[in-house]
Structure 1
Amino acid sequence: METEAKIQQHLADLEGTKTIVTIAHRISWVKDCDLILMLEHGRIVERGTHEELVAAHGRYWQIYRKQLGLQSGQSQGYTQASETAGGATDKTN
């Protein structure tokens, strides 16, 4: 966990100076990115900011809920969870 924190801090230090492309399975790694591309089977299925993708209630939202540990019906407005997948991001400032 210490290594992960160091990597995230280093990326945060670079923010605004470089374009950073991140490939991750954990939403915690990409939620602050300027643009998130949700990929399935090599195709972009969703794109937007974390807030836009959560509000859209699509695939990203399903994975976000699962990673938070939310169960079906546990929170108002949530209906289902799904398996984890990866996403690519473009962090440009």
Structure 2
Amino acid sequence: LEDRFTFDYNAYYQPSGSNMAQIKMVSYPTLFSYRSATGWDTHSINKDPLFVNTKKGDYRLLPNSPCNKASDPSISKDLKKTCADLGAFESTY
């Protein structure tokens, strides 16, 4: 897996009491422990993405979301030619 993929600039949200990841039967309780063991996700975040309204299926980002302008600045540009947002929707503000 590690020979074919690069994992970085991802947004994770880990509710309390759960593991961040499990790879090859090894559990990683935090993004820090996962990052330290694998070397992956150097620029990724583990924060509540602050969606508009998950109960109604509205997964757009709120203006104060940590996912806004958080993609890889060297390759991801939005329509304004600035760093794109993480996720499926680009912000309109």
TM-score normalised by the chain length of structure 2: 0.29
Structure showing the higher strand proportion among its residues: 1
Structure showing the higher helix proportion among its residues: 1
Larger radius of gyration: 2
**Which structure ranks higher in relative contact order (CA pairs < 8 Å, sequence separation ≥ 6)?**
1
